[in-house]
Structure 1
Amino acid sequence: REMDADHNRCVITLAGEREPIQEAAIRGAGKAAELIDLNTHQGAHPRMGAADVVPFIPIEGVSIEDCVAMARHVGSEIWKRFQIPVYLYEAAAATPERQNLENIRRGQFEGIRAEIATNPARKPDFGDLRVHPTAGATVVGARKFLIAYNVFLNTPDVDIAKKVAKAVRASSGGMSFVKGAGFLVRGMAQVSMNLTDFEQTPIARVFEMVKREAARYGAAPVSSEIVGLIPKKSLEQAAEWFLQVENFDSLLVLENRLAAVMGGKMAVGGLRAGVEPFVEQLAAPTATPGGGSASAASGAMAAGLANMVASMSRGKKAYVQYERELSDAIARLSQLREELKAAIDADAESYNSVMKAYRQAKQSADGNEMIQLALKQATSIPLSVAEKAHAVAQIVEQLKPITNPNMKSDLTTATALAHAATTGALANVEINLESLSDLNFVAEVRQKASSFSVPSMVRP
């Protein structure tokens, strides 16, 4: 939990399983509505609701699609239980305009209260055309990990912070995946930023940009702060950046190495000990995990192999001219690997949800609708796996001419695994489509799936 008197705002981070987290978010919004009256609330940070923003973020064992479903459920429940209108944003947004939080929150509580009944652009995704009289409206969504990062300058001149923020943020031509504003906090000018994709725009680069822009006005950073939690990887990136470590690898960090050993990556029994439980689950006489989970695992392994080859070529003299391409490939492969690993469980759980819908349909008048909805969700996950595995295969092809040729067999294996993942995932998509009655949805999915073509044979 993070609290700030100047912003008059509290950031609470929750982590856990899906059902408890959903309920905690719903109840948290209700408690905020009890305690906070926006008619009297004042603070430096923009706000439109007592529970202002509720983002769901995939960390492990869930996909962004799962988080979208969670966001929609929570948004619906917040309206039903507390009569607080809800807007969906980022990956959960119903329209492109609402992907950006600033577009929704423009005008803050007072502006939305004045316009919600008359401006069609202000219509909430859940709820009537009115704000809650004291709690306003809430924004719920799904997104990647966001780092809330603030830099304090050695000046009380808030105009300098605003100029620096304008130069740094993406919306005014600055750095991609950076949002920023200037505030006066504790008597110092503060450049307040949200980093929406730290793998694409690392925190160290952002700090350097702020430092450079502040120098134009005779100012300099005196400190910085992180609000909420931050992925360990982002700090490792900063260490690599500032220390200029040539051979940096996450496993050079003692605690990471120990965690890998304890987690089974190098456990007693060798590599087999790490993979055997999953293989045995596949072999068990149960419906899950099945081909969908195996496809996701295959795609994750493909991304892992490609990442290894790129990492072992980056930094070597023979490939120094490809440093940028290799770094970009490593960042993208890391992201794809994590998303594909999350899909292993997500696919199995979506199948279980379909089976649950079939059972519940027998006692519900809306039974068929429940089944169709569950099937659509179960279709979206393998479709996403196919898309990601296809992306891995494309990156592998790009790596072949710019990496060590002695590792070509590893890239050939990565290609074969990626193609297997795509083929298996698309087979799961097709079998779900056969049970769907929404012909428009079926046609759209098949058209998208057709773009992930797989060669009939993979050669070195």
Structure 2
Amino acid sequence: MRLVGCVPNFSEGRNKTKINSIVEEIKKIDGVKLIDVSTDYNHNRTVVTFLGEPEEVAVAAYNACRRAVELIDMSKHTGEHPRMGAVDVVPFVPVKDVTMEECIELAEELGRKIGGELHIPVYLYEAAATKPEREDLAYIRKGQYEGFFDKIKQPGWEPDFGPREVNIKSGVTAVGARPPLIAFNVNLNTQNLDIAKNIARAVRNSSGGFRYVKAVGVNLEDKKMVQVSMNMTDYKKTPLHRVYELIKAEASRYGVSIAETEIVGLVPSEALLETAVSYLQLHGFRNEQILENYIYE
């Protein structure tokens, strides 16, 4: 069985009725398995993960996007997470017997449909990017929804699909193809947002930190703490435990401790195993020693 993953991010994390309606569009498609739905009130964002054969996943992705733009009004949206559209980003991920090139084709097909049928500007990113600078999602999203109205008119900012005009209700969407990433958040025992922003600046690639880390500092109003919110784009080259330890060290400079961490959506077992091996200082540990590997086989 050929498997591709899709991990759309929708700019709604507070209205359960709307979220459930979007997710139902995915569940309707035979051959598609809904894996995870992660909502965050402070971010006002929902991340959905589903798997299946490429053709069925493409149908489910479009149907969910179509429903989301019917329900979400970006002109009224607020949240801590950077965003530019009701359907903020839709990545396709090769999982089993599917190539990155096939995922790029899926991204192009979906982007063309969103642009043409839903009348939303679409930018292709990561492996599907049509310009080198657009490989970086943060580059595309800079200025967010509010800033795109002027940005889209500037030279070099024509979308790959759809009108060269921001859809007031639905904003702008990025569609792409990428390897698996880990959405890893670290919550700090403080309400000082400047501390989280400073630590995010220390760990993210764009500010001189780790090559495969994107990070921002956000406020978690309901928890009375702040968060370093990260995307780990290559956990093999920048492992979780290395980033965690730097955040821990940076936080201690401000007299702050780590309250908890979280992973949004799915995570490759290899990433957690590497973390366990590092902290337990296991010498010569092999994957063949994991009992569940034999069970799954």
Measured against the shorter chain, the TM-score band is: 0.7 to 0.9
1:207 match = 244
Alignment of 1:262-273 (within 5 A): none
1:300-379 aligned at under 5 Å gives the runs none
Instruction: From the CA coordinates, give the structure whose radius of gyration is larger.
Output: 1
TM-score by length of 2: 0.85
Shift of 1:115: 3.0
Q: Equivalent residue for 1:38?
A: 74
- Structure 2: distance between partners of 1:194 and 1:150: 8
- Relative contact order, CA 8 A, sep 6+: which one is greater? 2
How big is the shift at 1:121?
A: 2.5
Corresponding position of 2:174: 139
Superposition map of 1:155-194 within 5 A: 155-185=190-220, 186-194=223-231
Paired residues of 2:193 and 2:217 also in contact (CA < 8 A): yes
Deviations 1:356-390 (A, max 9, x none): xxxxxxxxxxxxxxxxxxxxxxxxxxxxxxxxxxx
Tell me how far apart the structure 2 counterparts of residues 28 and 57 of structure 1 sit (CA, whole Å).
17
Letter in 2 for 1:206: V
Q: 1:48 aligns with which of 50, 69, 84?
A: 84
Q: 1:232 aligns with which of 269, 272, 286?
A: 269
CA RMSD of aligned residues (A): 1.0
State the alpha-carbon separation in 1 of the partners of residues 121 and 149 from structure 2.
Answer: 11
Alignment partner, residue 104 of structure 1:
140
TM-superposed CA distance for 1:245, in Å, is: 0.7
TM-superposed CA distance for 1:120, in Å, is 2.0
- Contact 1:48/1:108 (<8 A) preserved: yes
Residues 14-73 of structure 1: per-residue CA shift (max 9 Å, x gap): 111100111111111111101100000110111111000001111111111111111111
CA distance in 2, matches of 1:115, 1:214: 36
Which residue is 1:85 aligned to? 121
SS at match of 1:156: coil
SS in 1 for 2:183: strand
Q: Paired residues, what number? A: 259
SS at match of 1:181: strand
Q: 1:252 — aligned with what?
A: 289
Cα pair 1:179 1:195 within 8 Å, conserved: yes
Partner of 2:234, secondary structure, is coil
> 8 Å contact 1:112–1:122 — kept in the other structure?
no
Residues of 2 paired with 1:152 and 1:67: CA distance? 33
In the TM superposition, what is the alpha-carbon distance from 1:127 to its structure 2 partner?
Answer: 1.2
Which residue number in structure 2 is paired with residue 63 of structure 1?
A: 99
Structure in which a larger fraction of residues adopt helix: 1
Superposed CA deviations along residues 268-326 of structure 1, whole A, max 9, x for unmatched, are xxxxxxxxxxxxxxxxxxxxxxxxxxxxxxxxxxxxxxxxxxxxxxxxxxxxxxxxxxx
Give the TM-score, by structure 1 length.
0.55
**Identical columns (%):** 48
Q: Which runs of 5+ in 2 are unaligned?
A: 1-36
Instruction: Give 1:242's aligned amino acid.
Output: Y
> C-alpha separation between the residues in 2 aligned to 1:15 and 1:204?
28
Alignment of 1:117-132 (within 5 A): 118-132=153-167
Amino acid at match of 2:112: S
Q: Supply the distance in 2 between the matched residues of 1:34 and 1:212 (Cα, whole angstroms).
A: 45
| Aligned-partner Cα distance in 1 for 2:143–2:219 | 20
Q: Does the residue aligned with 1:151 lie in a helix, a strand or coil?
A: strand
Write the deviation string for residues 222-263 of structure 1: whole angstroms up to 9, x where unpaired. Answer: 110000111111111111111111121112111012223xxx
- Residue 16 (structure 1) aligned to one of 36, 52, 55: 52
Cα distance in 2, alignment partners of residues 203 and 182 from structure 1: 18
C-alpha displacement of 1:148: 0.4
CA shift at 1:122, angstroms?
A: 2.0
- Deviation (angstroms), 1:204: 1.2
Task: Write out per-residue CA displacement over residues 150-185 of structure 1, whole angstroms, 9 at most, x where no aligned residue.
Answer: 001111111111111110111111111001010111
Aligned AA (2:260):
S
Q: Secondary structure at the match of 1:30?
A: helix
How many angstroms apart in 1 are the aligned matches of 2:69 and 2:202?
36
CA distance in 2, matches of 1:172, 1:115: 23
Write the deviation string for residues 191-234 of structure 1: whole angstroms up to 9, x where unpaired.
Answer: 11000000111111111111111111111111100001111111
- Alignment equivalent of 1:26, drawn from 62, 66, 70: 62
**Cα distance in 2 for residues equivalent to 1:139 and 1:207:** 29
